[in-house]
Chain A
């Protein structure tokens, strides 16, 4: 008589044996970060978040009873280097999951490659709406720009403004934010009276600003990269447009290159660095690095690692297919340092906490 054991029962048994035999073999995942290049300071903060998460996981006994490790690769802020790193993590280290990167332009090709390899991708720092289209095995623990524009629209409307002028670069990013802002602002009863999608890299936006001003908005909502924002802010100041309130989406980005005298008093929003359950993370960070959180992106990297560890624990193994299935489950409701994470149908963070911030003398603070 044939004795038949279902494979689903057999597999965990086999693995239990393997684990017992190789106690020291760590569970490994990968991460690709901009440790050098233009975004190196953000990359370093992401690395800190990962380091803290790994320490805490191992102090609590590791994952699946084994030590836990994250293999960190440098992208150099370049997509080709990041892709090489992804290839190495996939084919040499054979990790089931890779975190990264920071710039959308790099996260997207990395994510596409990982999707093709059947390896789970977790986005810990990019906010382009295009992240949503990478594929079914790519997840985001940070809210994309459709979510940020909604927050900004509701925040501006709640402050009592009804006629908004919207200013953003004429790029995939700017067009996406503009459309989402308009949709949400008008749903909340306001009206976008002018939409200025400027050509990036110009030396002057004076004419565009004059046209915008003629429509008499009661608030200027803008999102611009540092240098372009500096030109816009300066010319708006010269035209006395700063008598009307200015609201920056990702205010830190908007004000970094602008003189304090001009940008003082601007309001705006930033991604939240810490949620209600995140105090422990903040304290651990302070203790280890002897300073307050350098950016919000360390927190998202920390959450990415914690989420990945939870998925591996639920899968009961570090096999790519199992981890992928478990990730979708764990991500339905996960209490993270940056607040609760709940993926939508596309595996993207549906609810993202943002902070309302104000610029004063070089500091963007709540």
Chain B
């Protein structure tokens, strides 16, 4: 049971920060940024590059977050803001193109072979019968801390209030004297940083690899939609739900179905499980689980 909780939290940590940033940008810019998951890819490789040049993990992650944040701002201003004038559908198609360009760029610079971070190998810790590696525990803790900080920012700071105001009514906020352009840039920067951090943490365990972004695409979108697009903390909850579903799907013993004492559903169908949940949620609650809260922000 403890292993189930740990696995769920671990998977939530993988998804939460990226889903959070995606939902945040949607709240302000009103378009689903497909390239967002590729910021995680860029962040993972940037953190690797710093380490390959002699930096340590902390320096790698920090520099990678800053660089990816800057990239997100640049793309936001140079590409997405312009496309948005034509409509959100154009912006989304544009983000798909950016997504492919980013993958091609990483592939060209780093090659297709995965790159593992040069980290010391530490023996896993035992918590009862459950096992968890120290780095994985650190990843869970860091994600939780960042989500906490983000919530504080959103509900306790001037920037947070401004963001909420713009998300709720862009024209009114602008008329009240809020600098919408600056707030949008700040949002792009934050979302890029969060995605880079999430990507780097993923890569700590699996290595940086070209499919890192694409593998995130579906579960992260599912989490963000489940939480109600534009509701960042809802996206974190959505990530938790997706993670729990996935973990349950692969770890519940269903051997009785075919008369074996122990048996499991194949891991290959895991995507189907989270999408069944997503579909169900969309049919029953088309605006996500926290519809009312979103409209009230």
Mutual binders A and B: yes
A residues contacting B by CB (< 8 A) are: 199, 201, 203-204, 207-208, 210-211, 214-215, 227, 230-231, 234-235, 237-240, 259, 261-262
Q: Which of B113, B205, B207, B250 meets A211, CB within 8 Å?
A: B250
What residue of chain B has the Cβ atom nearest to residue A235's Cβ?
Answer: B205
B residues contacting A by CB (< 8 A) are: 3, 7, 113-114, 116, 121, 123-124, 126, 131-133, 136, 205-207, 209, 211-212, 215, 250-251, 253, 262, 264, 267-268, 270
Residues of B within 8 A of A259 (CB): 121
Q: Is the CB of B7 within 8 A of A240?
A: no
Can you list 7 A-B contacts (CB < 8 A)? Answer: A203-B206, A203-B207, A203-B211, A207-B250, A237-B124, A238-B131, A239-B124
Q: Is the CB of B121 within 8 A of A203?
A: no
Contact A204 to B126, CB < 8 A, known contacts A210-B7, A214-B253, A214-B262: no
Q: How far is the CA of A199 from the CA of B267 in the complex (A)?
A: 10
Residues of A within 8 A of B123 (CB): 240
Contact A227 to B253, CB < 8 A, known contacts A199-B268, A204-B205, A239-B124: no
Q: How far is the CA of A240 from the CA of B132 in the complex (A)?
A: 9
Residues of B within 8 A of A207 (CB): 250-251, 267, 270
Q: Is the CB of A210 within 8 A of B250?
A: yes
What residue of chain A has the Cβ atom nearest to residue B215's Cβ?
Answer: A203
Residues of B within 8 A of A227 (CB): 113-114
Residues of A within 8 A of B7 (CB): 210
What residue of chain B has the Cβ atom nearest to residue A196's Cβ?
Answer: B267
Q: How far is the CA of A52 from the CA of B239 in the complex (A)?
A: 63
Contact A240 to B131, CB < 8 A, known contacts A259-B121, A261-B121: yes
Residues of B within 8 A of A262 (CB): 121
* 20 additional A-B residue pairs with CB within 8 Å, beyond A208-B267, A214-B251, A214-B264: A203-B207, A203-B209, A203-B211, A204-B205, A207-B250, A207-B251, A207-B267, A207-B270, A210-B3, A210-B250, A210-B251, A211-B267, A231-B114, A238-B124, A238-B131, A238-B133, A238-B136, A239-B124, A239-B131, A261-B121
B248 to chain A, nearest CB (A): 11
Residues of A within 8 A of B212 (CB): 203
Chain B CB within 10 Å — which of A207, A230, A234, A239 has the most?
A207
Residues of B within 8 A of A234 (CB): 121
Q: Is the CB of B267 within 8 A of A203?
A: no
Closest 3 A/B residue pairs (Cβ): A203-B206, A238-B133, A211-B264
A202 to chain B, nearest CB (A): 8
Q: Is the CB of B250 within 8 A of A237?
A: no
Q: How far is the CA of A235 from the CA of B211 in the complex (A)?
A: 18
Q: Which of A201, A237, A240 meets B126, CB within 8 Å?
A: A240
Q: Is the CB of A230 within 8 A of B116?
A: yes
Residues of A within 8 A of B131 (CB): 238-240
Chain B CB within 10 Å — which of A230, A234, A235, A262 has the most?
A234
Residues of B within 8 A of A201 (CB): 211
Residues of A within 8 A of B121 (CB): 234, 237, 259, 261-262
Q: How far is the CA of A262 from the CA of B262 in the complex (A)?
A: 29
Q: How far is the CA of A50 from the CA of B243 in the complex (A)?
A: 56
Q: Is the CB of A203 within 8 A of B114?
A: yes
Q: Is the CB of A211 within 8 A of B251?
A: yes
A58 to chain B, nearest CB (A): 43
What residue of chain B has the Cβ atom nearest to residue A201's Cβ?
Answer: B211
Q: How far is the CA of A213 from the CA of B132 in the complex (A)?
A: 15
What residue of chain B has the Cβ atom nearest to residue A226's Cβ?
Answer: B113
Q: Is the CB of B251 within 8 A of A231?
A: no
Chain A CB within 10 Å — which of B132, B209, B212, B267 has the most?
B267
B201 to chain A, nearest CB (A): 13
Contact A231 to B250, CB < 8 A, known contacts A203-B212, A207-B270: no
Q: How far is the CA of A262 from the CA of B131 in the complex (A)?
A: 16
Q: How far is the CA of A215 from the CA of B262 in the complex (A)?
A: 7
Q: How far is the CA of A204 from the CA of B203 in the complex (A)?
A: 10
Chain A CB within 10 Å — which of B113, B136, B207, B212 has the most?
B207
Q: Is the CB of B206 within 8 A of A231?
A: yes
What residue of chain B has the Cβ atom nearest to residue A210's Cβ?
Answer: B251
Residues of B within 8 A of A210 (CB): 3, 7, 250-251
Q: How far is the CA of A32 from the CA of B132 in the complex (A)?
A: 49
Q: How far is the CA of A261 from the CA of B7 in the complex (A)?
A: 25
A259 to chain B, nearest CB (A): 6
What residue of chain A has the Cβ atom nearest to residue B134's Cβ?
Answer: A238
A351 to chain B, nearest CB (A): 37
Q: How far is the CA of A342 from the CA of B121 in the complex (A)?
A: 47
Residues of B within 8 A of A238 (CB): 124, 131-133, 136, 205
Q: How far is the CA of A240 from the CA of B3 in the complex (A)?
A: 13
Q: How far is the CA of A174 from the CA of B206 in the complex (A)?
A: 23
Residues of A within 8 A of B264 (CB): 211, 214
B163 to chain A, nearest CB (A): 33
Q: Is the CB of B113 within 8 A of A240?
A: no
A240 to chain B, nearest CB (A): 5
Residues of B within 8 A of A230 (CB): 116
Q: How far is the CA of A239 from the CA of B132 in the complex (A)?
A: 7
What residue of chain B has the Cβ atom nearest to residue A261's Cβ?
Answer: B121
Residues of A within 8 A of B211 (CB): 201, 203
Q: Is the CB of A240 within 8 A of B250?
A: no
Residues of B within 8 A of A239 (CB): 124, 131
B160 to chain A, nearest CB (A): 34
Residues of B within 8 A of A203 (CB): 114, 206-207, 209, 211-212, 215
What residue of chain A has the Cβ atom nearest to residue B260's Cβ?
Answer: A215
Chain A CB within 10 Å — which of B3, B212, B251, B264 has the most?
B264
